[in-house]
Structure 1
């Protein structure tokens, strides 16, 4: 075959193998060196192709899609710094366990490290932040090249999906000319799909957990963000059988669609409750079981670190289980679902009534706060109450996710809740939200701060290429609001310059640029009007002007009120 035929067979082998392995989505950032693969994906009707010209935003867009799908999404870019711009999303995917497959086009070997334009060292570019990396051979017509490419493309999918899921990297060199033979008869891949198995706990491990639950009367369950699909029905059957307090992080997806008979078990105000010293003494556990990641709540982390339960079991599919506190006593290498199929009936939990009563009191404080206050927390609470059944919420990091943790109360509504908590960064959040909405195909709302919104304003570009149904609520407190809660805020001389970082910007012009529907609101009445007005465009931006100092004072007043009441109730 001639060079064009070799190249055409080569790239279509890659594309067809991905199809055979069940991959169906690719996010492409335009560039010259990646032309052959871009053509091959576009020529294949079974592939969904998405365009985003900014590579950093493209990475997070693909990450949002993969997060929502819980299956691999491809990223394709040209050579050089384009590949480097994927790095932030790859780091997030690694720590959040998201199956991204990154395809970086590269210069041929003779143009590497010789001063050729748009050429950097891309071999193992992402280091330990990917699960696996491979540098492909050129499309040289050698008889073993196609089988090699076919097998390793399939392996990339298996690596990405094997527990714990995560990103992989394929570096693909192309020699000019880069054009394909569009009359080439595309052949299906001979690759037979490799299906990753689940990591299942051994029977002795299951027996250990069951025995501990049966022999303990002071304990609780923590549910953080979980990897992969799981059955809420199975979890709540497990919860009903053991009758323990369930401390559910908002990202666990268990604060929504809560069965009525399990409402008393679900503790959603633990962040506020665990600011009370007397309450902490009243519920001091001797057994804690955690499924999923460590929750957002800092008071919960401080409580666990101080109490050091005699038995703290983490059930995690990664042998490098998450234990930032250094207090885990047992790690069971397994998917969580194995433990939800047991019909357990342990001792009555003597702290359940304490947790339930305290949670009810804190919820009453939260509801009054949402009705009476005008700060970011009250706006966030109003937003959560107005979210329609069958929609999704995406949260930014820093203050938005903490307000989700505090003000998103358990509900029977079907609402998905998402955030980038692998590394807790504020970058790429807009793009992640677009990616999630693209997959979920239902209305979505992004709650984000002004600095984070500015970080990924290029993410709005995707709305020019693809339909969406996204409302972006920007809490504009003119700077980094989270820092006002930290000790740095006491050093007034340098605080605004180094941490507050006020920009003085508003976002009406950005909304105009992207032809988005725009509202600027200053009261909860205006906010409710903006949220409930019929949406006339795919993209809506609601800017809420708030004050950082007032936010801190209002939040602390709320927490002190809850703490004071709890301290009085459990003073003995």
Structure 2
């Protein structure tokens, strides 16, 4: 068998193994050494193929697709620093539990460590930030090579899909020549890949949670972002049966599409109400049960750390559970939905009405603020109210996700909410948003700050290769707005240089370069006009000019007004 046939069979074994294991999406960046795999993916019509020139952006594009679908996405690049540019997205995927199948092309073994061009040490390149890594053999035509490839592709993809999900790395060396036999008859993989199941709770752990619920009179449910697909109907049936207040992080997907008879249970203004000392004393929980990650809110984290509940149960699919506060008393290694289907008992909750009333008070202040103020929070609130059912919202880290936490009120609309909170970085957000929109095929809106937008301007390249439907709302306060809320802001001598980092840049020229529809917003009227104007192009950029100092003062005045009313209501 000649070398071209060996290479052709080799790469199609990789590609067909992906298909057989359910991987149907691949993000490809151009490069010479990855030519054989790029051809094989392109020749196989069953794949959804996405092109992105910039590998750093490509990594986040794949992450966004996998985040939206909760299924593995293949990611392919050439050798050298191209592979290194995947690192930020892989780190985010690892901590956010997103399944990526990272395929890095490499030089053959004889060109490693000898000064060959575009050759770096790619073995275990991503260290402990992938769940598994393997360096494949060359396409040598040996009778054991292709069965080895099939087995290890199956192992890699099963590992990526097994809870907690995450990225895996497959390093694939190629020796020149790199061209394929395009007349080769593609043979589907017949290898029986692993079947990944759900982690089930033991009867004793179900009884532990059931007993805690039955014995509690001041229980509190907390729901953060949950990995994998789950039924909101099952959750709300569970919450309705036990009648506990539900603190729902925006990434829990529970703030939208809420059944009418459960709306009193959902507490979406916990970030604001937990700034009131008197309110916090009135609702001191005896049992806390958390599903998913710890929510974004810092006041909630400080509250839990201060009260240290006697019983704090987390339910998580990873035995290495997430407890940055050091307050969890029992961890249950299980899929959360097991408990929603098993437990339907409770006694009267003494604090539900207190939580509900406080939430109503805070919501009243929030809605008034959106109507009367003109800062980033008010603009964000306007945006959320204008979102249509059947659309998605993506938020950058720093202030955007915090404004979502504060100003996205519960709604019966069907709106998905997404953010990169594995490591809370501001890089790759534009690309993640494109990935989510391309995967879900629904109109999407990205809320992002100017610095985060600049971090991933190359992400806009995707709009040149694929049909998209994305609106980007850039809150341009000329710098890092989140730092103005932190103690660093009190040191005026160095603050602007080290943290504020004003660039003086605006984004109309960037919009023009990508043929994006552009709006400059400096008032609520012009923002309303931009949001209500029928979209004319696949990509729209709305730049909202705001002031960092005014944003801080306005947010703090809102919180002070809420605290004052809550303290007056529950002053002991």
Alignment TM class, shorter chain as reference:
over 0.9
Deviation readout 1:184-242 (Å, 9 max, x if unpaired): 11111121232111111100000010011000101100000011010010000000100
Aligned residue for 1:169, secondary structure, equals: strand
- Partner residue in 2 for 1:418: 418
Q: Where does residue 570 of structure 1 map in the other structure?
A: 570
Instruction: Give the structure 1 partner of residue 73 of structure 2.
Output: 73
Within a 5 Å distance, the mapping from 1:137-156 to structure 2 comes to: 137-156=137-156
Q: Distance in 2 between matches of 1:163 and 1:406?
A: 31
Deviations 1:62-117 (CA, angstroms, capped at 9, x unpaired): 00000001000000000000000000000000000000110000000000011000
2:401 aligns with 401
Residue aligning to 2:157 = 157
Q: Following the alignment from structure 1 to structure 2, what is the Cα–Cα distance between the partners of residues 213 and 24?
A: 42
CA contact (8 A) 2:396 2:426 kept: yes
What 5-or-longer segments of structure 1 have no aligned partner? none
2:250 and 2:404 in contact (8 A); partners too: yes
CA distance in 2 between partners of 1:394 and 1:542 (Å): 15
Distance apart, 1:345 and its partner CA: 2.5
Partners in 1 of 2:163 and 2:330 — Cα distance? 19
Contact 2:155-2:193 within 8 A present in 1 as well: no
TM-score between the two structures when normalised by the length of structure 1 = 1.00
Indicate the SS of the match to 1:247. Answer: strand
Alignment of 1:308-387 (within 5 A): 308-387=308-387
- Distance in 2, Cα, partners of 1:217 & 1:535: 51
Q: Measure the CA separation in 2 of the matches of 1:296 and 1:219.
A: 21
Q: After TM superposition, which residue ranges in structure 1, 4 or more long, deviate above 6 angstroms?
A: none
Shift of 1:142: 0.7
Matched with 1:554 is: 554
Q: Could you say which residue in structure 2 is the equivalent of 1:174? A: 174
Q: 2:552 and 2:206 mapped to 1: Cα distance? A: 45
Partner of 1:270: 270
SS of residue matched to 1:121: coil
Q: Distance in 1 between matches of 2:564 and 2:549?
A: 22
Find the counterpart in structure 2 of residue 136 from structure 1.
Answer: 136
Query: Post-superposition shift, 1:284?
Result: 0.8
1:52-71 equivalences in 2 (<5 Å): 52-71=52-71
Alpha-carbon distance between aligned partners in 2 of 1:251 and 1:344, rounded to the nearest angstrom: 25
* Deviation string, structure 1 residues 468-526 (Cα, Å, up to 9, x no partner): 00000000000000000000000000000000000000000000000000000111111
Matched, 1:127 2:146: no
SS of residue matched to 1:128: helix
Give the structure 1 partner of residue 236 of structure 2.
236
- Distance in 2 separating the partners of 1:508 and 1:397: 23
SS in 1 for 2:26: strand
* Structure 1 residues 251-280: Cα deviation after superposition (integer angstroms, max 9, x where no partner): 000000011000000000000000011111
Match of 1:478 in 2: 478
Following superposition, the deviation at residue 48 of structure 1 comes to: 1.4
1:443-482 correspondence to structure 2 within 5 Å: 443-482=443-482
- Confirm or deny: 8 A CA contact 2:210 2:345 kept in the other structure: no
Match of 1:528 in 2: 528
Q: Give the conservation status (yes or no) of the 8 Å contact 2:206–2:342.
A: no
SS in 2 for 1:180: coil
- CA shift at 1:347, angstroms? 1.4
Distance 2:348 2:556 in 1: 35
Residue 117 of structure 1 corresponds to 117
CA distance in 2, matches of 1:498, 1:510: 26
Once residues 138 and 234 of structure 1 are traced to their aligned partners in structure 2, the CA distance between those partners, rounded to angstroms, is 49
Partner of 1:247: 247
Which residue number in structure 2 is paired with residue 7 of structure 1? 7
Q: CA deviation at 1:344?
A: 2.1
TM-score normalised by length of structure 2: 1.00
Q: Does the 8 Å contact 2:72/2:101 carry over to 1?
A: yes
CA distance in 1, matches of 2:35, 2:4: 13
Residue-pair matches, total: 572
Aligned partners of 1:510 and 1:443: how far apart in 2?
21
> What do the CA deviations read for 1:20-42 (whole angstroms, capped 9, x no partner)?
11110110000000000000000
What is the CA distance between 1:541 and its match in structure 2? 0.1
Output the CA distance in 2 between the equivalents of 1:530 and 1:452: 22
Q: CA RMSD in A?
A: 0.5
Shift of 1:173: 0.2
Q: Which runs of 5+ in 2 are unaligned?
A: none
1:254 partner SS: coil
CA distance in 1, matches of 2:440, 2:200: 29
Q: Deviations over 1:411-469 (max 9, x none)?
A: 00000000000000000000000000001101000000000000000000000000000
- 1:343 deviates by 4.5
Output the CA distance in 2 between the equivalents of 1:346 and 1:436.
38
In the TM superposition, 1:296-311 aligns within 5 A as 296-311=296-311
Q: Structure 2 CA distance, aligned partners of 1:525 and 1:248?
A: 31
- Give the 5 Å matches for 1:478-557: 478-557=478-557
Q: Which moved more, 1:344-353 or 1:288-297?
A: 344-353
After TM superposition, the structure 1 = structure 2 runs for residues 68-107 of structure 1, keeping only pairs within 5 Å, are 68-107=68-107
Q: Distance in 1 between matches of 2:242 and 2:48?
A: 45
